[in-house]
Chain A
Amino acid sequence: MADVLRSDVMLAFAVMTAVTVAVRLGGFWLMSYVPVTPRVRRMLDALPGSIIVAAALPVAVNGGPVVMFAILAAIVATIVLRNDFIAVIVGMAVAAVARAAGFGG
């Protein structure tokens, strides 16, 4: 087949790759010019939680009750069992079972 790798698709992928590589390397590079003051230290320390909440909360709210309940189940599983692996399985299973039982979202 002639169009196994279409050239226009490859061009689009190349642009997407360039953007993503630039972001991954750029943050690291820019940080060499930022002195790590206590204030910057506090910002970096808050980063993991901030990224998680900013990325997941709108998706959860948009996803409706099933998604929110499944995430809640994953949090409870983490607190009780202290095991990330089981927490992910619990979250996925709760959503799959709820949807199989006819709950939308």
Chain B
Amino acid sequence: MTSKLTKTPAYWSKDAIWPGIVAIGPMLPGTLAFGMAFGALCAQKQFSLAEVEVMMAFVYGGLSQFVAVQAWPDHLTASSIATLALLTLTVNLRFGLMSASLRSWFGTLPRWQSYPSMLLVTDGGWLAATRYRDHGGANAWFFVGGGLVLYFLWLVAAIPGYVLAEQLADPKKYGVDLAMPAFYAAMLVPAWKGLRRAIPWGVAGAVALCVHWLVPGWWFIIIGAISGAVSAGLMPPDDPMRESSHG
């Protein structure tokens, strides 16, 4: 993604709420389907609906919730909770990279505004906000407005899934497992800035595949992502004039 435009500091103006919601619009069917599939899984695993809603509201990391519930032990012990915590950490570490990249935008806001905003970091919300920022956007409501809609949809999505668990036993039948990858693929297309800029993507993909094969668990996401970013840092700048004009 580019950094050609001068980055203005963050501000709050309500006129970006609707564009922010429109930008995460493509995420809504996938989030709903994913949340429903998760509710159905929890019903099969004998969680109560109240427990499911607590997890939706507080953990708020779709993939990590899925992975944790699939690996949920019959009896919780200190060591099995530690295993769940490690699983959650490996799946969710990418959120740390995402919030780190938002520092250059939200960093100028007062802490009581910027830190709570970071609790809304998700794949889709962050990708949409990053695209907006790359086009020179600075209105914090764009990210927070879209983020809040995703959060509340996620909260309610599990309920129909939980209730209809019998019918949703196989989410793959409806292509639900494709919702996130398809959205990712769609976000990759406008990010394409030529072959050179895509070299780090190739590094990220190759490293992620190797880690996926060699290391059990979900380390491949964070290790692949960091490898891609580091390789971009190691490459010589492609436009010295522009690079030197930035601090």
User: Chain A interface (Cβ within 8 Å of chain B)?
Assistant: 1, 3-6, 8-17, 19-21, 23-32, 34, 36, 38-63, 67, 70-71, 74-75, 77-79, 83-85, 87-96, 99-100
B80-119 contacts to A, CB under 8 A, are 81, 84-85, 88-89, 92-104, 106-107, 114-115, 118-119
- A87 vs B95: C-alpha distance in the bound complex, in angstroms? 24
Is B186 a contact of A6 with CB atoms below 8 Å? Answer: no
Cβ-defined partner of A84 (8 Å) among B26, B92, B99, B228:
B26
Q: Are A5 and B99 in contact (CB under 8 A)?
A: no
Tell me whether B207 is interfacial, beta carbon within 8 Å: yes
In the complex, are the beta carbons of B232 and A75 less than 8 A apart? no
Q: Tell yes or no: B178 within 8 A of A by CB.
A: yes
Report yes or no: A5 in contact with B50, Cβ–Cβ below 8 A: yes
B residues engaging A (CB < 8 A)?
Answer: 1-3, 25-27, 29-30, 33, 47-48, 50-51, 54-55, 58-61, 64, 68, 76, 81, 84-85, 88-89, 92-104, 106-107, 114-115, 118-119, 121, 123, 127, 130, 172-191, 197-198, 200-205, 207-209, 212, 220-233, 235, 237, 243-244, 246-247
Chain B residues with CB under 8 A of A26: 96, 99
Q: 22 A-B Cβ contacts within 8 A?
A: A9-B47, A12-B84, A16-B55, A16-B88, A19-B92, A20-B59, A20-B64, A24-B96, A28-B114, A36-B104, A41-B3, A47-B97, A49-B188, A50-B224, A50-B228, A51-B228, A54-B208, A55-B225, A61-B209, A74-B186, A88-B186, A93-B175
B152: shortest Cβ distance to chain A, in Å?
18
Q: CA–CA, A20 to B93, complex, Å?
A: 8
C-alpha spacing A90/B159, complex, angstroms? 25
A65 to chain B, nearest CB (A): 13
A5, A23, A40: the one within 8 Å of B233 (CB) = A40
Given contacts A58-B212, A75-B185, contact A27 B247 (CB under 8 A): no
Q: Are B204 and A71 in contact (CB under 8 A)?
A: no
Name which residue of chain A comes closest to B84, CB basis: A12
In the complex, the answer to whether A84 meets B183 with C-beta atoms within 8 Å is: yes
B85 touches A16 (CB 8 A): yes
- Contact between chains at B189 and A96 (CB < 8 Å): no
Give, as a whole number of angstroms, the nearest-CB distance from B98 to chain A: 7
B178 contacts across to A, CB distance below 8 A? 67, 70-71, 74, 91-92, 94-95
A88 to chain B, nearest CB (A): 5
In the complex, chain B residues whose CB is within 8 Å of the CB of A52: 127, 184-185, 187-188, 191, 201
Interface centre among A1, A14, A42 (most CB of B within 10 A): A42
CB neighbours (8 Å) of A71 from chain B are 178, 181-182, 185
- Min CB distance B17 to A, Å, is 19
Question: Closest CB of chain A to B245's CB: distance in Å?
Answer: 9
CB within 8 Å for A36 and B181 given contacts A1-B48, A9-B51, A54-B220: no
